[in-house]
Amino acid sequence: MKITDLKVAIIGNAPVVRITTDEGIDGVGAGETAKPYLKPMIEFYRDMVVGKDPTDVERVMLGIRRMGSFKPWGTAVSAIEMALWDIAGKAAGLPTYKLLGGKIRDKVQVYNGNVRYEMEGDGREPEDFAKNMQKMKDHPYNFSIIKQAVSFHGGMQNREGFYYGTPVTQGRYPNRGTITPKGFKYLISVVEAMLDVLGDDVGLALDCGPGMTVPDALKFAKELEGSNIMWLEDMVTGDYSPFVLADLYTQITPYTSTPIHTGEQIYLRQNFVELIERNAVNVLGPDVADVGGIAEMKFIAEYADLHGILFAPHGTFDGLIGLAAQTHLAAVLPENYIAFELPQAKPEWWLDIMDGGDQFAVTDSHIDVPSTPGLGLTFIPEETKKYLREEDADFFDN
């Protein structure tokens, strides 16, 4: 079997990859729904994969993996890798997880970092967060863990007097600075309001940055000790930070019992080595659509497990195809796995343009692992064409 083409279309604002072969089997992969600008970068790799055997996934990836980078640029490589595993599974007549060692769990746990409701009031007071958290707690998916953005990830830098700095209102999380006593008191009050709602029934995780200083991060973590917070995510570095800085986390994690989490922006296993070997965090959360793909993430999870580090993958905007990839991956991860951040089929017409989407339904915060070949999804061309841009009209041409 040989790859004949690599096609990219922007569908629902997501860069979607379709790899075709000379045996009529195709595979799909995708990046986050906020990354339509990545189409040219994904197309950059076409000549490097055409003519190769797609079922030799690692051989194909060795040819392109070194030419990706930290979020958002790792998405291009990751989406291609997803599509290769989809082809490999379909060619073998097996679900992708069977080719990754086989599942160790029949259901995979998910957490809520994406199902959201509009805030009541001005959306900034503790009672507003409490009411919003109650709505998420009452969601039919019966989430076991809910993540909420606070501090610099939750826009609190725009609240007057929150920190010693001048907020930048454009860009992806550019703010950083020391939180004021007033701001810190406010931050704690918001967290306490949400904890009061969730009680012992649902775990609360907090997405905090990047942008917090090391002293503030440690102070925040110690203040929350005993409250059973699931994790504090990306306090110092994180989303769209093109570096790791494990040294900073080693000034926090060993000195608190509150779990410290990072990793969604990091590309490739090599860039996790310091975090893992120095036990710089308690929980890692790479994204299958940014880290370099499914097998890359499995390697990182296994190495983290050897060092006692837990795994809670990021994935909020990975869409329906990303949801399938996350489910197959979670089925084979070692027992340091907690849950992955649930992506959604948004817009809902994604379920109309792909066969197989219904098998990723959530019940009691879990998804049953499917048994269909590959990732378990197949485009319905005539339905999908309704949502293709004119420039992507040849997406289903062989």
Pairwise CA distance, residues 89 & 57, whole Å:
11
230 pLDDT more than 90: yes
298 pLDDT more than 90: yes
The rounded mean pLDDT for the chain is 97
Band of residue 236 on the pLDDT scale cut at 50, 70, 90: very high
Distances (CA, A) of 178 to 166, 174, 236: 11, 14, 11
Amino acid 326: pLDDT: 98
Which H or E element spans position 305? helix 294-306
Pairwise CA distance, residues 256 & 258, whole Å:
5
Tens-digit pLDDT profile for residues 96-129: 999 999 999 999 999 999 999 999 988 899 999 9
φ/ψ (deg, to 5) at 182:
-65, -45
Strand-by-strand arrangement of the 145-149 sheet? 145-149, 203-207, 231-233, 260-262, 283-284, 310-311
- Residues whose CB is less than 8 angstroms from the CB of residue 100 and which lie 6 or more positions away in sequence, other chains included: 85, 294, 295, 298, 328, 329, 332
Pairwise CA distance, residues 78 & 294, whole Å:
8
Pairwise CA distance, residues 325 & 85, whole Å:
9
Beta strand 3-11 pairing with 14-21: antiparallel
Tens-digit pLDDT profile for residues 317-329: 999 999 999 999 9
Pairwise CA distance, residues 259 & 305, whole Å:
15
Amino acid 121: pLDDT: 87
Amino acid 171: pLDDT: 85
Pairwise CA distance, residues 15 & 38, whole Å:
7
398 pLDDT more than 90: no
Amino acid 93: pLDDT: 98
Domains and CATH numbers, the chain: 3-94+379-392 (3.30.390.10), 99-375 (3.20.20.120)
Band of residue 290 on the pLDDT scale cut at 50, 70, 90: very high
Which H or E element spans position 145? strand 145-149
Continuous H helices in 12-139: 39-43, 46-49, 57-62, 74-92, 96-99, 126-137
CB atoms closer than 10 angstroms to residue 138: 9
Instruction: State mean pLDDT over 308-316.
Output: 98
Tens-digit pLDDT profile for residues 28-63: 999 999 999 999 999 999 999 999 999 999 999 999
Crossing angle of helices 319-332 and 294-306, in 10° steps, is 40
223 pLDDT more than 90: yes
